[in-house]
Structure formats: structure tokens, C-alpha cells
Structure 1
Amino acid sequence: MKKQIKEHPILPPKEGRVVTFTFDGKELQGIEGMAVASVLFMNDIKVFGEHYVDHSPQGIFCANGQCAQCTLIIDGKPLKSCMTALKEGMRIESLKGVPALPSEDEPVPVSNIQTKEVEVLIIGGGPSGLSAAKVLGEKNIPVLLVDDKDRLGGKLVLQTHKFFGSAEDVYAGRRGIEIAKILAEDLRQLPSVEVWLQSTVVGVFSDKIVGVLRENENYVLIKPKYLLVATGAREKMLTFKGNTLPGVYGAGAFQTLVNRDLVKAAEKIFIVGGGNVGLIAGYHAIQAGIQVVGLVEALPRCGGYKVHEDKLRRSGVPIFTSHTILSANGTNKVESVTIAALDENWHPIAGTEKTFECDTVLIAVGLASVDEFYQKAKDFGMEVWVAGDADEIAEASAAIFTGRIAGIKILETMGIDTG
């Protein structure tokens, strides 16, 4: 595990039982329970398969379960490696070619489908979902909260920086990783709140039933009276030459690897996007001993908080505003990146090209709300609310507020005093 971060200024070393597995027939080691994608990165493996048309190498993108870019064949099944926990003796294979039918025609084992009626179903265990569940749980309302990760907190578990705002209202002055623990502990004190982790909502249906794959094993049909969608956001992508090379991936994926799983995911990174996500990811890289060779922002100035930008500048990171990425360069992986200045019409200016050696290009060009379940539920006439980034992209502190507001609105609909 040569790419494990063993010293970090904030995070303790990653501990756990070391187990043995195979990847494409080669025996390797990893930490039991860690996401397979992170374990492979820790073993310096970044190519997970190849495109079925031109056989070009493929790597990860989101590391958040929102895409299928990290899919591998794990113990004979195609699974998202960012969402699959490592186990002793796992047989993992890269994804190559096109799918094929099994050699033996055997029926797929199917368990009995369970049903469950709930008062309130909350989809998503990030800051908004947790805050709403707390409001409802404090009124002893039966709540089922479902999240597809192995822990509560959403993106808070990736954030090592301290938050701004009100200490009383949104835990300002504390790091995101601490806030996640506080919110999760609050729920544990509320007996009316039930939590299902590693459980994926697969659909909201016209008969007002929600399908959930509980712990990736049992399919359960949930019948909620009230539904709150707090599913967060997914990262946006840019189109440019070389954008499918292994080593081009989202800044959130980078934070997952570095801050959650303590993987030294790169040696030299270049960041595309000067909003808070890009700026903070740059500082997280520096904390992990990774060199940030530059950051590019298409606008005349960075859109993120100045305090985050200043941290990078003080660390010697060159920031290029009114610039864009032209290409990520390399054969089977990222080897360099080329940028250029933009004119007033957003066109690259010939002769201003600059190339930087790097092994990773982080894409931090905004987020898109994961609101499909909300839209479906609304179309089907369900009693549904939406909160956090699924409603509007904002800070985690805003998600805490919108979650509380959603919880209060649900109580008001029930006719319960919210005073």
C-alpha cells in the first residue's frame, strides 16, 4: 500500500485489518472495509478498465456512486468500486470488452420483496437530511433515513477545514468532519429515527412507493406518508481534449480519496475551477503532501472565498484567471495539462498556451442538484419536500438550515406545533 498517507496535520492515520485480494490475478493488500476504488489507488492502480470501442484506458470520476466510471468485476459481479467495501479474498478484475452472458444458464437467486410503511422517509444522510431528521425526531415522529454510504454526514466527512457562520446555528469554527459526527450522534439519541446505511434508493414509483436496495442485498418497498429528498449534488464535467484520461476526475473524488480514506492520490495536481470546491481541494492536497502546480479559472477572478484563495497563493500556487484548459495530455494517463488565456468572447487566445507537468487534473466547475427523485415524487402527487444541494447548490451551513426548515414544514403539514 505504497500510496497510503501516514502523516497528516489534522487526520489520524487510517487503521484497520489488512486483508489480501487479487486484481487481474495479482495479489495485493488493502484495509478491510475501505472502498475498493480507494484501495486500488492506495496500491497505485488508477486504470480500472478500457473503453469497449477504442480500448482507451478508463479511470474514476466521481468516487461518490453518481456515475459508473469506476465499475469493476468484483467476485463475478459488475459493481461500482467506489461503493463496494473490500473483503478478504476478493477477486477483482478490470472492466474490458463488452458484457457477455454467463456460460451456464442458471436462474438468478431472488429474495422475497419486503414492504415497510413509514411516517417520514428521508433520502440522504448529509447535513440537510440529518438536520431534518433531528427536527422530526425531537417531536417523536417516526422517521426512516436512508443513505447509500457507510457513514452519515454526506460531504461533511470529506471536509477538514473549519466552517464559517454562527457557532450556535451551524457549528461555525468546527471542521466538517467534526460536524458530521455531531449531527450523527444527535440522531442516535432519538429513538423514533431509524437509519439505513449502505442502502440505495433505486426508484420513486407512480404508486407512491419508493424502492430501496437495503445494504445492497434485500429489496424493500417503502410506503411513506411524507418524503424528503436530501440527495445532495453531483459534479459537473467539461469537454476538452484528453478529458477521459485516467487522472482526470472530480475534485470531490479527490477529497474522498485524500481526506476520507487517506490515500495519496497524486504527486502533482492541476485544478480547473476557482470556486470554493477547487480552492479548498487545493489546500487539502497541500495538507496531504501533494504539489498543486496551478489552478485555472475562466472568470476574471476566483468565485470562492478570498480566505481559501489566499491560502493557495501563500503556498506558492499560481492562479490563472481569465484562462481555460485546452487539453489533458498523455497516452494511458495524465502526464501534463495545457491552458490558455481567454479573450472577451471566451475564446482561447493563440500564443498564450502554457503546459504544466502533472499526473492529475481535478475538475471543480460546479455541481448539479441530484433532484430526480423529488421531481418524480412531485409528478406522482406525493407529499414531498426537497432540501440541501438537491434543492439549491450552496454551502453545508445552508444545507443545515434548509433541512431544519423542511422538517418544520413537514411538522406543520401534520398539524403539529413547531414552537
Structure 2
Amino acid sequence: MFYTLPMSEHDPLPIDTNRRRARGAQSNHSGRFERLVREETHDGWDGPEDRAAFRTFVTTERPRSAITRNTSPDVPFDRSVNPYRGCEHGCIYCFARPSHAYLGFSPGLDFETRLIARPGIAKVLEQELRARRYRPAPMAFGTNTDPYQPVEKTHEITRNCLKVLRDFNHPVAIVTKGTLIERDLDILSDMAAKGLAHVGISVTTLDAGLSRAMEPRVPPPARRLATISALAQAGVPVRVMMAPVVPALTDHEIEGLLTAARDAGATAASWIMLRLPREVSPLFQDWLQAHRPDRAARVMARLREMHGGQDYSPDWGKRMRGEGHHAQMIAHRFRLAMRRLGLSEALPPLRRDLFAPPLACGDQLALF
């Protein structure tokens, strides 16, 4: 049975643990753009009904454009490609969750169970790279949702995009938690040999139990360290990304995590403080109360200390690292650990001078 309520009168009931097994969010609140909510409720006739678990559904979208542009001073790229909307990895802290509200979905469980694949995006990308006014710069993957989340295994959208970039000799920078990237070492190793590819592997904690709770469908930390090794052995420059650092929960692991990544083959490292924009804050706080109630108050106190008393502040230059004594202490620990371990802050710059559109069907060969 279903009924609707105005958003202001809505008090969502908790979702049974068995129904959201191996999911990150505890709830599925409607997005901020919805005036009404649709809620399931027992009809009162029989005993408690058996409810189906949240399954992953994938729909497809016909993309009109492939390259997303940005002018943010906080990130080192100005263009990116997103093969998927939503992410099955289900990381509870994911800053991309609020983007699902634009699609009429919940940033909660919908974000990790109602995915949108964009299978035609590689063809659109090729068309955009052939534009006369196009000028090459590193193309970023994994800036919003993970390009190597589990559905990539069957859809291969990321792989098809990499084929296009390889054919154009176009530089690419990938960020992922997914070990499926090893499948594409045949492409990435060739591009890396030309100075056209590097990869960032996100490892938030070395604690497998904590990782399973925060990132329920992400490969365990040890497996991600193995992926760093595989990339390094294939000649692909790789950095470890401690993103995010959760104060009072994972910040004690900084030195150990960087050491493990260096030993696996990472040559650079970076970090980002936990960010809780819009719907992410209540989702993360619900998760804290369910999984780490003894730490909940301390984690949120540290975050508010770094954001002027708020859960999150979106100010340029501050949103990625926070400010204040605790933020400065974490930054100082990273600098010292990286210096001691010989880790760089950035990977070598990617080449742009090799960019050359290949001949398309029907093009005439040059005489000279």
C-alpha cells in the first residue's frame, strides 16, 4: 500500500536491515526537489509482510554530450567524463549523492541501487574530440561516480571511452576504488608508456571491517593495495588517495596507510577531508549512530570545528581540507609522512602534444 505526504509532514520510518544488506545508506528519503513523497506502509490486514531487498536496477540514457567542464580552483582538471549516474559501491560519505536528487531519485538507497548507464557516451566523446576548436588537456574519470563500479563489468562503457582516448593519443587521469581497472591494463599500460595516463586509487582505511561498513560494495583495502601493485608493475604511474579522511575515525591511520601504499608501488599521495554537502550530512550521521555510536559526537564535533560550526562549508579553498588547528595538524602529518616515505604530491604531468584525431570512416589519406 502506498500514500503520499507533503515533505514538511514526512517522518520516514527506518528500513529493515535485511532489506538493505550490503548497502551504505540507512534510509531512502525523497530528494530535495520533490514536493511529495511516496511511502510504503502495511495495510493492517495481516502480519508483517515480507519485503523485497533493495536490488540494483540499471537503466540507460542516451547522452547528448560527453565532456563535462568545470572551473573549480579546488581541482586540477577542467574536463571529465561520467559513464554512470549513481554508484553501486554505496560509500556512505560520497559527496556525489546529492546529484541523484536532480533525477528525481533519493540520495540515499536510490543512489546506490537505481543506476543510469550511458552506453553511447564513447561515440559522443569521439565526436567532441574531433571538433576543430577542441584543444587537449587531461580527461578525468571518477570525479563524480566510480567508472569501475561493479556494473562496468558487463557494460564496459569506461573501457570503450578509454579506447577512444587511446586512438586519439589523449591524456587521461582516472580515480577509482574498483579493482576492475586491472582489466584495462592492456590499454592503460600502452598509454602510460607514452606519458598519457595515470591513476589514483582511493584507500580510506586499512581496517577491512570499517571499510565494509562505510563502503559496502568496494573491494577490501588489501585488494586495492594489490591493484596499486598491478598498475605500478604495468608501468602506470599511480598515487594513493586517502579520500576522505574521517576525523576521529580514520585519521590515526595516515602514516600506516601511506606506508602500505608506498610499499605496494604508489609514488604519490593526496588526501581530502570528509565533506558532508546537503543530504550527505544526515545520511552520514545516521550511519555513525548505527555503526560507530561511540564515535558519532566526536566525529561531528571535529567536522564542525573545521567548518565554522557547520556540518560543511562549500567555500573555495576550504571545502576540501577544512580549517583550524585540527585540519592543520592532519595536513602537517601528511606532509611529514610523505617526505619520510619519498612520496610526491603529484604524478608527472601528462603529455598533450601527441594528440591527433585518427582517420574517420570516409576520410581521405594525406598525400604527403
Same fold (TM over 0.5): no
* Larger helix share, 1 or 2: 2
* Larger strand share, 1 or 2: 1
Q: TM-score with structure 1 length normalisation?
A: 0.27
